[in-house]
Structures are given as C-alpha cells and as structure tokens.
Amino acid sequence: MGAGKSTIGPLLARQLSWDFIDMDQAIERSEGQSIAQIFLERGESYFRHLETKAIQHLRTKGSCVVALGGGAFIHKTNRLLIQDIGYSVFLDCALRVILERCPNDGTRPLLQSFERVEALYAARLPYYHMSDFRVDVTNQTPERIVEVILAHLRAGRSDDAY
C-alpha cells in the first residue's frame, strides 16, 4: 500500500511490451464492488480468497506485470503460486513515505490509523523480504526504479524474455 505499484507497474509493463494488471482493480471489476465494500460486506477472508483465485488465473495469461495488493504476498499459497508462475519484486518504501501517499479516505480498508499501518508494515515486511528482488523506491523516480528492475531482470535471467 503506497509503495508505487500502480505507478511502477504500468511503466515496467510498457518497457517490456507486456500487459499490466492491477489485481485490486481486476477483483473490483469481477465482483462489481470496491475493495472497501468487499471488506465491509463479506470480510477480509473472502477478499483474500478472491486474491488467490485471481493469482491462479494468471496461469492463463501471457507475459504480464501484476501489481498485487499489499496483503497478497503474506499468504504462503499465494507466494508459492507467484514463485511458480513468475518473478516477484518488492518495492521497498519507507513507512513515512507510505503514510504521506495514503490518505485515510476510506478507500483502503486496512488504513485506519497510524498504529494500524505501522503494525501491518512490521508484520508484512518479513514476507516481502521473501520476494525474488527488492528495490528501494523511497527516494527514486519511477523511471529510475523501472531502470533498476529491468537491469536486474536482464542480468539475472537466462531466458531472452527481457
């Protein structure tokens, strides 16, 4: 939440000539409800189930860049699916910057207070560190972040997809 997935993802996808999928938006379209409404009416566990189904559906897609919701990667099932079908990049952003970027306007159901965001950040960070690659996005432009990711992918991947 607030790390820049919705900004970096489309830029990276464009550089790779791949499709971009924002997982939260895809779930909202398929359910006909906002994430906040889904949380309110059906609960977080139902939303997490939808996330897993959406990740499983990625197997049927071609090459694409996917922006996952902040909680998707903490679930082992999702991490294993992602590891099996793709490559994960953790956009590491300082908590103070995340808080500046994320207004408490009701659109993010888990953003209820500074304490709640701080607790989520601390709880999720060990899972995010299980990503294939980490890039510090705190003080870099979106274009520079994409350059760093592309350089890493080109250097670390043996296939010619990049």
Summarize the confidence of residues 96-109 as an average pLDDT: 65
**pLDDT reported for residue 40:** 93
- 58 and 85 in contact (C-beta within 8 Å)? yes
Banded model confidence at residue 118, pLDDT cuts 50, 70, 90? confident
Work out whether the CA dihedral 120, 123, 127, 128 comes out positive or negative.
positive
For the chain, the first-to-last Cα distance in angstroms comes to 27
Residues 59-69, mean pLDDT to the nearest whole number = 94
Decide: 82 and 55 in contact? Cβ < 8 Å: yes
Q: Is the pLDDT of residue 157 over 80?
A: no
Count of helices and strands (H, E) across the chain: 8, 4
Q: What are phi and psi of 98, to 5 degrees?
A: -55, -45
pLDDT for the residue 121? 86
pLDDT of residue 109: 47
- Lowest mean pLDDT across 19-23, 24-28, 92-96: 92-96
User: According to the CATH classification, is domain 5-156 in 3.10.129.10?
Assistant: no
CA–CA separation, 73 vs 75, rounded Å? 5
Place 105 in a pLDDT band, splitting at 50, 70 and 90.
low
Please choose, from the candidates 82, 59, 84, the residue with its C-alpha nearest in 3D space to the C-alpha of residue 69.
82
Predicted local confidence at residue 77, as pLDDT: 96
Whether pLDDT at 2 is above 90? no
